[in-house]
Amino acid sequence: MNFRRDSVPRVSIGMPVYNRPQELRRALTAIVEQTYPHLEIIVSDNASPGDDVEKVVHEFMSRDGRIQYYRQAENYGAEHNFQFVLDKATGDYFMWASDDDWREPGFVEELSALLTAHPESPMAFCNFIAVLETGEPVRHYYPDFYSKMKQFTRNPALVRRLLFFLQSGRGGKANLFYGLFRRQLLDGFSFDWFIRKSGRFGMDMLFVFWILGKGPLALSDKCLYRCTVGNKKFYQDGTGTSWNMRAVLKKSAEYSNYAFRYLLVADRGERLFLGMLLPIKVVLLAGGMIRRRLEKRPF
């Protein structure tokens, strides 16, 4: 089916990609098959070697006029690519779409309807499951995601953000980064500025912490998203089964620094409360790291 790109798209989907043509093919298929038609799809290729990525995108562009393709002259880093697709977006709502995750056809329609129904919410997301690259479910990952995220759908901003701060990343809260946002709230947002405040480690969770200060999460109980685990992810660094003391100390310092950076992102009035909870957060992070090593999971 041929699509005409709308002059004022309702939902902008930014896809920052690099050198994974087969995963991109699967992800683009899921995007163009969304039941919500009013999309602009922005693909930014972060200077992938060769032309395999470009060929995949042009194949889809020949059938779907909603897709825009940009190839960066050189690789400036992932955050530059995420910023680029955001800056190109013109829709009322915006989302980033990774090339290694799976989205059901009703994903955008459901989340768009949530934001329309909940004008107080800055973002929307849905229930999801973790899968391998083959699509096989991994039951021990994020088993209680929906119930954990429900607490971010209400409460005053301070309570909501304190709960988010204390919740373990193993609950799946980083995946909220791939929800649907009101684009006007991101106008002028700069990843360069944000990284200077928050650092790169845990940046996705710190971003969600920031956005939850603008309103409660709108959450659907429908399972419309599948997060791929078992492939190389930034959050897997240092979570192997070896008890190398140097690696443990390095990771502990990284986690402590990550916890402290919540204070830098928080509003001034929240910092006292976060500071009081900071020792608890550091202990929880350290305990989670030790538990994962004891479990000796391959991923």
Question: Is 265:209 a contact under the CB 8 Å cutoff?
Answer: yes
Domain boundaries defined on the chain? 7-99, 236-295
CA distances from 257 to 25, 30, 175, 240, 267 (A): 37, 37, 21, 20, 18
How does 13-26 read in b/e, with b if 16+ C-beta sit within 10 Å? bbbbbbbbbebbbb
For residues 149-154, give the mean pLDDT. 94
pLDDT tens digit string along 200-253? 888 999 999 999 999 999 999 999 999 888 765 433 333 444 556 676 667 777
* Class of the CATH domain delimited by 7-99: alpha beta
Q: Where are the beta strands (DSSP E) in the chain?
A: 11-17, 39-45, 67-71, 93-96, 102-103, 123-131, 180-182, 217-228
pLDDT at 100: 87
The full DSSP string for 256-288 is: HHHHHHHHHHS-HHHHHHHHHHHHHHHHHHHHH
| Side chain identity at residue 162, one-letter code | L
Statement: residue 293 has pLDDT above 80: no
pLDDT tens digit string along 127-149? 998 888 877 888 778 878 999 99
pLDDT at 119: 93
pLDDT tens digit string along 169-187? 888 999 999 999 999 999 9
pTM over 0.95: no
Q: Alpha-carbon distance 111 to 211, whole Å? A: 16
